[in-house]
């Protein structure tokens, strides 16, 4: 929308809001409200009644009078319990005690005054209303009772958001996906202040740390998945908004200790270590239970400094985890296979440069045949006389690699403290200030799973230092107008470094028999398919990753005017990011098999054959400065009207505008005009509307719904790549995926020293000129029914439609030619029909002249990149769309007779055109860079069915006397979740080289880069919809049982035991996704290209389970907590 039209639109909306003359309750991101209508016993409204709202903790009071319609609402109330007194001339005083206020919600107190002079006390439960008849959004609130008494496996308070419908975990690290959207499109706030890292678009501290804010600090939090207030923004997924605890006139607090030990845990069937039970014997997998000891301890205390005026709250928390990592091959059966002493039957080693694909088994998947073909590969590549010599070298080389595997010491140690001050300056002003400080170290902590396919010294050490502070001033300008101003400063400093190489790595990767010495001081990375990585990880070193400093200023005004509550304000965030990380700076070799790696290993150990060590699939190396520093600025303005049309209908009309100011190009390349500017998306207008309708006016049946547009940020790490890789002098340069024979391609284990040679062209990354920020259209419709007994049933439809979602494509590919692959299956389990042919557009260059007498390639075929000065020219473009729809059935029972329960079932389907969930950029994300429609399929976050059941059950009996100490105050809390497994696609292994083209173009070509079509994009097999397969269903049952010992009513000591994955269900986390490998075959004297069924682990076979931060074998945690 043009800027002029935007201004006129905003002015018109403002005129509409301000010209209205009626009222509805409102609250902000950090507090709640109390409201209602005062009536007498005849049902007539009582105007000018005096309402006094008293905070039971701090004695702060607010006074207001009811309007002509008897209505009232008091805003800016901290979460907690209140007493409401209502008085009017000629009526008895109405008094409601223990009225609970929760964040982001209105607590309704409907009062009926009786004639007379006595005081009537109404016993009001400490819970919020069963049904809120005015809120239009789709949200859930997690209160203190749930935070304290419901078990959660990964210690993070935000993990409780998984109880909400439409929310799933993605990736095993605790990242949340709302409504099928990317985990990078969310916003987490604490006390209204941004708690995100702009660089990676995750919670500050990211997922390596245990948690960045202790659970003992959180009072409650709200999960907003749709139609949330225009005060919330910078999120196209969901908003999680937490409120911290405060001190009061009474000293209160807790001390706690939690102990989780693997001695009480179950075994994981896939956690094994391969050992030789006899010297020189075969490797045998032995089940092990790795050490995993976790201890969390801390305390939190709050109270008065000056009674009724100044209060404090302080929390200290420490988390320590000792969890050595087990490094294993990605396919143990394949890696540890031993070659046959002699080839079976009449089989012989075939010739050619890659015989590994030619020796197969009639039963397929027998890993020994993989090893047999490996021995043949060594025989051919090393020029050995016999197959037996290949076997000897294979076994010796296998043992050398195995020396890099095993157990590595790993631990995590973090400390947090959180001080907070609340100052009730006077009845009109309240000031609060808080600081959160985290210090975290984790040697070998880069990989957090139980097992990982890395060498024992190739994991990486990680560190985090996270500090933030927030100050907030709430001011009542009048009884109808209030203002809230917030300021935040934060620094999130994360860094990491490589470990010292092993002797094997030093001798193999740092030098050769011909006298070569590595000039960089760190070994290159080596990655072997079906095995593991070793050397220096491609993502190291990281002196700052990032060092991010942010400050935020926001202001919100609330104006109650008649039946309207107008909320408007603005927000500004300034971010300074320093990131120092150059990918593959020490070089990176990729191999398709153990045999091809061992070929280069042995060749590099012989001075006469060093120059022949070039059997790798690809090599890549980064050059240039280690990092860059840049700034972004986020501006936002919003206005919202909450209109109580009549006692039964409430409307919300809102508008939000956002603008992210990106930095200027630091290294513009005049040869690539797109690198000279950054996106400037100024049309991010987000209207939002919603309604809530009390169908019968009884508060028992409510229909609510709404629609809104939501915009997300451009992630700073994506900006970083566009700054660092412009192809200009002084920038970061990633060599293309070099294959043996390419200009500048090294021989193993050498790296390219100095600057990138002129023979190797750099990659370029830039933003498409029409790039737009991600935008989501959300809608929902719900009906809620009060079933009585504090129980509500809700049926909802949810819709979410993504537009302008980012992805990446290489725009510098040559014109494709057709290449045909013939499918070769080894048995009936192949996914593709045996003998079928697949023709694909292939992006490559000629490597061999046409056969004698054949016509030359037509001149219309361009085998070179359009811009030969560069390799890949990656455009960051926003052309992806997504669609998500869901039906949700939800049952909630507030605490009654000792039982609180919540259950939900969600059916959903998430589809998209290849939404990219990665930070930074990839060279090319598409299967075919010229056909984005081929990407259409299930989203990576598609979970069609999900069921969640949680309950808090407290012993209902109350035994008196001395027996009460033993028999009272038990509690049991189960938490069950079950869902479909996450989706995946079948992929191919290796890179096609020297392919025969179709008859229209005679000759042989090799891909410009990797992949089935040479474009370096997705490796999934054509002919299948993306993400057409899914992992088995996951089921997790956690449980908690506790006993409280109450001492003098003021103190209670609680002992508890928690079990995670109580039945030890094997939740599959990894399967083998490789279905085919590239190869060649000969028929009638002609050689043709094949997709040969993969001879390693069978496609879809389970390779690991319960191996991440969300899914684990059964674990037991014991703890104690003192409340006072």
Identify whether residues 66 and 165 lie together within a single domain.
no
List of E strands, 562-626: 564-580, 588-591, 618-620, 622-623
In a domain, residue 797? The reply is no
Q: Which of 225, 248, 271 is the last residue of a domain?
A: 248
* DSSP character string of 81-139: EEEEEEE-TTBPEEEEEEEEE-TT-EEE--EEEPBSSSEEEEE--SSPPSS-SS--SEE
Identify whether residues 154 and 195 lie together within a single domain.
yes
* Helix locations, 937-1055, DSSP H: 964-967
Identify whether residues 116 and 145 lie together within a single domain.
no
| Interaxial angle between packed helices 594-604 and 367-382, expressed in degrees from 0 to 180 and rounded to the nearest 10 | 30
In a domain, residue 198? The reply is yes
Identify whether residues 142 and 242 lie together within a single domain.
yes
Rounded to an integer, what distance in angstroms lies between the CA atom of residue 765 and that of residue 871? 11
Task: Identify the pLDDT of residue 22.
Answer: 36
Q: What is the residue range of 102's domain?
A: 25-123
Q: Identify whether 541 is preceded by a cis peptide bond (ω within 30 of 0).
A: yes
- β 193-194/187-190 pair status: antiparallel
CATH number of the domain at 75, please. Answer: 2.60.40.1120
Of 540, 543, 318, give the one whose Cα is nearest residue 439.
Answer: 318
Rounded to an integer, what distance in angstroms lies between the CA atom of residue 526 and that of residue 534? 5
What's the chain's Rg over C-alpha atoms? Answer: 32
Mean pLDDT by 10 residues, the chain (1124 residues): 46 41 50 86 85 90 86 85 88 87 82 74 55 70 92 92 92 87 92 94 89 94 81 89 93 97 92 78 83 96 96 98 93 88 78 43 56 93 94 95 94 97 94 98 92 95 97 92 96 96 96 92 95 96 96 95 91 98 95 96 95 94 93 97 91 96 96 95 95 92 95 96 92 82 89 69 91 95 94 96 94 88 88 90 68 36 73 93 97 92 97 89 88 92 97 92 86 97 90 59 66 84 89 97 89 96 94 88 77 86 88 96 95
- β 32-40/106-108 pair status: parallel
Residue identified by tokens 């996106």 is 679
Rounded to an integer, what distance in angstroms lies between the CA atom of residue 737 and that of residue 990? 13
Q: Identify whether 749 is preceded by a cis peptide bond (ω within 30 of 0).
A: yes
In a domain, residue 79? The reply is yes
Task: Identify the pLDDT of residue 758.
Answer: 55
Which residues on adjacent β-strands are paired with residue 486? 472, 554
Identify whether residues 116 and 147 lie together within a single domain.
no
Identify whether residues 168 and 242 lie together within a single domain.
yes
Rounded to an integer, what distance in angstroms lies between the CA atom of residue 218 and that of residue 215? 5
Task: Identify the pLDDT of residue 129.
Answer: 60
Identify whether residues 167 and 225 lie together within a single domain.
yes
Rounded to an integer, what distance in angstroms lies between the CA atom of residue 531 and that of residue 596? 12
Rounded to an integer, what distance in angstroms lies between the CA atom of residue 897 and that of residue 223? 27
Rounded to an integer, what distance in angstroms lies between the CA atom of residue 702 and that of residue 894? 17
Phi, psi for 283 (deg, rounded to 5): -80, 135
Name the burial class of residue 4, with classes exposed (0-12), middle (13-18) and buried (19+) by CB atoms within 10 angstroms of its CB.
Answer: exposed
Rounded to an integer, what distance in angstroms lies between the CA atom of residue 714 and that of residue 700? 43
| Interaxial angle between packed helices 387-402 and 594-604, expressed in degrees from 0 to 180 and rounded to the nearest 10 | 90
Residues 6+ apart with CB under 8 A from 483: 474, 475, 477, 555, 556, 557, 558
Q: Which of 222, 248, 274 is the last residue of a domain?
A: 248
Task: Identify the pLDDT of residue 121.
Answer: 58
Half-sphere exposure of 1121 (CA within 13 A, CB side): 19
Q: Annotate 706-718 with three-state secondary structure.
A: EEEEEECCCCHHH
Structural domain count of the chain = 3
Task: Identify the pLDDT of residue 633.
Answer: 98
Q: Apex CA 357: angle with CA 355 and CA 361, to 5°?
A: 110
Identify whether residues 95 and 149 lie together within a single domain.
no
Rounded to an integer, what distance in angstroms lies between the CA atom of residue 599 and that of residue 384? 11
Identify whether residues 150 and 49 lie together within a single domain.
no
In a domain, residue 397? The reply is yes
In a domain, residue 394? The reply is yes
In a domain, residue 507? The reply is no
SS3 394: helix
Task: Identify the pLDDT of residue 15.
Answer: 41
In a domain, residue 95? The reply is yes
Task: Identify the pLDDT of residue 943.
Answer: 96
Identify whether residues 101 and 29 lie together within a single domain.
yes
Q: Which of 371, 402, 433 is the last residue of a domain?
A: 402
Rounded to an integer, what distance in angstroms lies between the CA atom of residue 306 and that of residue 421? 11
SS3 579: strand
Phi, psi for 3 (deg, rounded to 5): -60, -35
CATH number of the domain at 231, please. Answer: 2.170.130.10
- β 451-452/461-476 pair status: unpaired
Task: Identify the pLDDT of residue 994.
Answer: 62
In a domain, residue 358? The reply is yes
Identify whether residues 116 and 142 lie together within a single domain.
no
Task: Identify the pLDDT of residue 358.
Answer: 41
> Which pair of structure tokens corresponds to residue 183?
């985990």
Identify whether residues 156 and 241 lie together within a single domain.
yes
């Amino acid at each position: 929308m043009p800027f002029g039209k935007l201004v006129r639109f905003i002015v018109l909306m403002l005129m509409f809001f301000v010209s209205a003359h009626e009222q509805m309750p409102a609250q902000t991101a950090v507090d709640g409200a109390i409201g209602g209508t005062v009536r007498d016993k005849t049902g007539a409204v009582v105007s000018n009644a005096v309402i006094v709202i008293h905070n039971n903790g701090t004695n702060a009071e607010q006074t207001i009078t009811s309007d002509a319609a008897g209505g009232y609402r008091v805003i800016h109330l901290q979460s907690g319990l209140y007493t409401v007194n209502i008085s009017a001339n000629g009526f008895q005083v109405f008094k409601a005690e223990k009225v609970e206020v929760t964040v982001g919600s209105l607590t309704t107190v409907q009062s009926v005054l009786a004639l007379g002079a006595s005081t009537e006390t109404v016993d009001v439960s400490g819970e919020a209303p069963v049904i809120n008849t005015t809120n239009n959004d789709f949200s859930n609130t997690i209160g203190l009772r749930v935070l304290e008494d419901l078990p959660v496996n990964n210690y993070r308070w935000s993990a409780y958001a998984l109880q909400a419908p439409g929310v799933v975990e993605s990736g095993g690290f605790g990242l949340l996906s709302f409504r099928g959207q990317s985990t990078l499109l969310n916003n987490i706030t604490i006390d209204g202040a941004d708690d995100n890292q702009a660089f990676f678009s995750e919670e500050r501290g990211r997922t390596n740390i245990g948690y960045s804010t202790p659970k003992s600090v959180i009072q409650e939090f709200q999960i907003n998945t749709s139609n949330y207030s225009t005060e919330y923004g910078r999120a196209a997924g969901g908003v999680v908004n937490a409120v911290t605890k405060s001190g009061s006139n009474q000293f209160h607090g807790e001390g706690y200790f939690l102990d989780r030990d693997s001695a009480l845990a179950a075994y994981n069937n896939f956690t094994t270590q391969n050992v030789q039970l006899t010297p020189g014997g075969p490797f045998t997998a032995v089940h092990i239970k790795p050490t995993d000891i976790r201890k969390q301890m801390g305390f939190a205390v709050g109270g008065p400094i000056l009674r009724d005026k100044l209060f404090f709250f302080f929390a200290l928390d420490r988390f320590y985890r000792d969890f050595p990592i087990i490094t294993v091959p990605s396919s143990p059966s394949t890696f540890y296979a031993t070659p046959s002493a002699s080839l079976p039957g009449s089989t012989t080693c075939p010739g050619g440069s890659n015989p590994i694909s030619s020796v197969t088994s009639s039963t397929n998947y027998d890993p020994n045949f993989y090893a047999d073909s490996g021995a043949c590969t060594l025989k051919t590549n090393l020029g050995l006389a016999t197959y037996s010599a290949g076997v000897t070298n294979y076994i010796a080389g296998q043992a050398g690699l195995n020396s890099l595997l095993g157990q590595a010491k790993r631990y995590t140690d973090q400390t947090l403290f959180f001080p907070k001050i609340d100052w009730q300056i006077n009845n009109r002003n309240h000031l609060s200030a808080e600081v959160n400080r985290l210090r975290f170290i984790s040697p070998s902590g880069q990989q957090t799973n139980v097992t990982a396919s890395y060498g024992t010294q190739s994991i990486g050490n990680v560190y985090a230092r996270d500090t933030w502070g927030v100050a907030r001033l709430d001011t009542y300008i009048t009884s109808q107008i209030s203002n809230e101003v917030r300021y935040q400063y934060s620094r999130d400093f994360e860094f990491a470094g490589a470990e010292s190489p092993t002797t094997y790595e030093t001798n193999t990767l740092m030098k050769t028999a011909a006298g070569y010495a590595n000039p960089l001081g760190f070994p290159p990375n080596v990655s072997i398919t079906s095995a593991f990585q070793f050397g220096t990880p491609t993502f190291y070193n990281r002196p700052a990753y990032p060092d991010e400093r942010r400050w935020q200023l926001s202001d919100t005004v609330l104006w109650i005017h008649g039946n309207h509550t107008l909320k408007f304000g603005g927000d500004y965030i300034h971010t300074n990011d320093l990131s120092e990380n150059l990918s593959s700076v020490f070089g990176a070799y990729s191999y398709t098999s153990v045999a091809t790696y061992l070929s280069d290993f042995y060749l590099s150990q012989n001075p006469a054959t060093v120059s022949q060590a070039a059997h790798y699939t690809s090599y890549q190396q980064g050059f240039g400065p280690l990092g860059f520093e840049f700034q972004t600025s986020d501006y936002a303005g919003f206005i919202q009207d909450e209109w109580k049309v009549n006692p039964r209908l409430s409307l919300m009309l809102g508008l939000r505008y956002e603008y992210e100011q990106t930095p200027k190009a630091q290294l513009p390349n005049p040869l690539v005009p797109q690198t000279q500017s950054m996106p400037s998306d100024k049309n991010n207008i987000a209207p939002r509307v919603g309604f809530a309708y009390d169908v019968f006016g009884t508060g028992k049946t409510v229909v609510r719904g709404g629609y809104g547009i939501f915009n997300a940020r451009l992630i700073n790490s994506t900006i970083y790549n566009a700054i660092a890789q412009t192809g200009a002098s002084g920038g970061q340069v990633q060599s293309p995926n070099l294959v043996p024979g390419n200009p500048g391609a090294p021989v193993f284990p050498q790296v390219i020293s100095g600057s990138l040679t002129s023979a190797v062209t750099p990659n370029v990354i830039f933003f498409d000129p029409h790039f737009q920020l991600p935008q989501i259209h959300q809608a929902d419709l719900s009906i809620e029914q009060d079933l009585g007994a504090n129980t509500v049933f809700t049926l909802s439809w949810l819709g979410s439609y993504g537009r302008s979602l980012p992805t990446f494509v290489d725009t510098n590919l040559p014109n494709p030619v057709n290449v045909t692959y013939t499918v070769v299956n080894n048995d009936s389990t192949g996914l593709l029909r045996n003998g079928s042919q697949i023709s694909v557009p292939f992006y490559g260059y000629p490597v061999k002249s046409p056969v004698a007498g054949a016509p030359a390639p037509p001149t219309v075929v361009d085998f070179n990149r359009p811009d030969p000065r560069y390799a890949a020219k990656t455009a960051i473009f926003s052309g992806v769309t997504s669609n998500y729809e869901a039906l949700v059935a939800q049952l909630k029972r507030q605490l009654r007779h000792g039982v609180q329960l919540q259950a939900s079932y969600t059916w959903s389907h998430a589809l998209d055109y290849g939404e990219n969930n990665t930070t930074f950029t990839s060279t090319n994300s598409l299967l075919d860079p010229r056909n984005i429609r081929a990407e259409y399929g299930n989203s990576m976050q598609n979970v069609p069915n999900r069921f969640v059941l949680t309950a808090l059950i407290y012993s209902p009996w109350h035994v008196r006397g001395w027996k009460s100490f033993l028999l009272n105050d038990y509690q049991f809390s189960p938490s069950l979740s079950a869902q479909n497994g996450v989706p995946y696609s079948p992929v191919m292994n290796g890179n096609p080289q020297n392919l025969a083209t179709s008859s229209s173009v005679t000759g042989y070509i090799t891909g410009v880069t990797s992949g089935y079509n040479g474009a370096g994009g997705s490796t999934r097999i054509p002919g299948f919809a993306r993400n057409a397969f899914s992992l088995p269903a996951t089921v997790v049952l956690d449980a908690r049982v506790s006993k409280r010992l109450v001492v003098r009513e003021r103190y209670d000591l609680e002992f508890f035991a928690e079990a995670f994955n109580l039945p030890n269900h094997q939740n599959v986390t990894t399967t083998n996704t490789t279905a085919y490998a590239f190869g060649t075959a000969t028929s009638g004297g002609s050689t043709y290209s094949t997709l040969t069924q993969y001879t390693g682990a069978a496609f879809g076979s389970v390779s690991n389970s319960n191996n991440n931060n969300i899914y684990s074998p059964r674990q037991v945690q014991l703890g104690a907590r003192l409340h006072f």
